[in-house]
Structure 1
């Protein structure tokens, strides 16, 4: 965990997020202004690997925002 608020947990993205994150990154409306556009599951897994590498190499990267009440991204 990176940070916790009353409503959210901010943490590193992991492989456990593949299904929820994959659904978000595959959504055309969500990814409308993304440089890469919508991603499939394999591309999402590669993104997760890149995030983990960034955490290790640079100590920072995209974070997961998890809703405490429902327990998912």
Structure 2
């Protein structure tokens, strides 16, 4: 039931209790500059996860982001 909202967020469930959702990108991501090149392209990403509880005073949020430096 995964959908993309009008503001670009990926919504995995529709609010139904105990519903699980998942999403996969349909094609491999290319990280090399050219097919025979071993150099990797630089990229960054961030994930934000919100969990809304059954009661309005319950919920959870998690976020992960890189340091911005190459390893």
Q: Could you say which TM-score interval applies, normalised by the shorter chain?
A: under 0.3
Structure showing greater Rg: 2
TM-score (norm 2): 0.22
Q: In proportion to residue count, which structure has more helix? A: 1
Say which structure, 1 or 2, has more relative contact order (CA 8 Å, 6+ apart).
Answer: 1
Q: In proportion to residue count, which structure has more strand? A: 2
